[in-house]
Chain A
Amino acid sequence: MISLEHVVKRYGDRVAVDDLSVEIGAGELAVLVGPSGCGKTTTLRMINRLVEPTSGTIRVDGRDTRERGVEELRRSIGYVIQQAGLFPHLTVAENVATVPRLLGWDRRRIRTRVDELLDLVGLPPGDYAERLPRALSGGERQRVGVARALGADPPVLLMDEPFSALDPVTRLRLQGELLRVQSLVRKTIVVVTHDIDEALRLGDRVILLQTGGRLAQVATPAELLARPASDFVAGFLGGDRTLRRLALVPLHSAELRSADGAAPAERVDAGGSLRDALEVVLRSPDGRAAVVDGDRVLGVVDAEVIRRAAVTR
Chain B
Amino acid sequence: MAAAAVTGLVTGVLAARRPRLEAAALAVTGVILTIPSFALFGMLTILLGIGNPAVELGLALYALLPIVRNTRTGLGAVDPAVVEAARGMGMSPAQVLLRVELPLALPVIVGGLRQATVMVVAIATVGATVGANDLGQPLLEGIRANDRDAIFAGALLVGALGVSADALLAALERGLSRGRTA
Q: Which residues of A contact B (CB under 8 A)?
A: 48, 50, 70-75, 79, 81-89, 98-99, 102, 132-134, 148-149, 151, 158
Contacts and interface: CB of A to CB of B under 8 A. Distances in A.
Contact of B104 (A70, A88, A99, A149): A88
For chain B, give the interface size range: 20 to 34
Interface of B: 79, 81-82, 84-92, 95, 100, 103-104, 179-182
A81 B81 contact: yes
Contacts, number: 66
* Secondary structure call for the B interface: helix
Contacts of B88: 48, 50, 74, 79, 81, 158
Given A73-B90, A74-B89, A102-B91, A85 B81 contact: yes
Contacts of B79: 85, 88
Contact of A134 (B84, B92, B182): B182
B148 to A, nearest CB: 51
A158 B86 CA distance: 14
Contact of B179 (A99, A102, A134): A134
Given A79-B85, A87-B86, A133-B182, 18 more contacts: A48-B88, A50-B84, A71-B90, A72-B90, A73-B90, A74-B88, A74-B90, A75-B90, A79-B88, A81-B84, A81-B88, A88-B82, A88-B104, A88-B179, A88-B181, A89-B180, A99-B90, A102-B95
Contact of B103 (A73, A89, A149): A89
A167 B86 CA distance: 26
A102 B89 contact: yes
Contacts of B90: 70-75, 99, 102
B93 to A, nearest CB: 10
A50 B91 CA distance: 12
B81 A82 contact: yes
Given A102-B91, A134-B179, A86 B85 contact: yes
A148 B92 CA distance: 18
Contacts of B89: 74-75, 79, 98-99, 102, 148-149, 151
B122 to A, nearest CB: 33
B153 to A, nearest CB: 44
18 contacts: A50-B87, A70-B90, A71-B90, A71-B92, A72-B90, A73-B90, A74-B88, A79-B88, A82-B81, A85-B81, A85-B84, A86-B82, A87-B85, A89-B103, A89-B180, A98-B89, A134-B182, A158-B88
A85 B87 CA distance: 11
A74 B87 contact: yes
B149 to A, nearest CB: 49
A2 B92 CA distance: 24
B178 to A, nearest CB: 9
Contacts of A98: 86, 89
A112 B178 CA distance: 27
A84 B81 CA distance: 8
B132 to A, nearest CB: 40
Contact of A88 (B84, B87, B180): B180
Contact of B91 (A71, A73, A134): A71
Contact of B82 (A50, A71, A79, A85): A85
A88 B81 contact: no
Contacts of A75: 89-90
Contacts of A132: 179
B177 to A, nearest CB: 10
Contacts of B84: 50, 81, 85
Nearest to A69: B90
B92 A88 contact: no
Nearest to B176: A89
A71 to B, nearest CB: 5
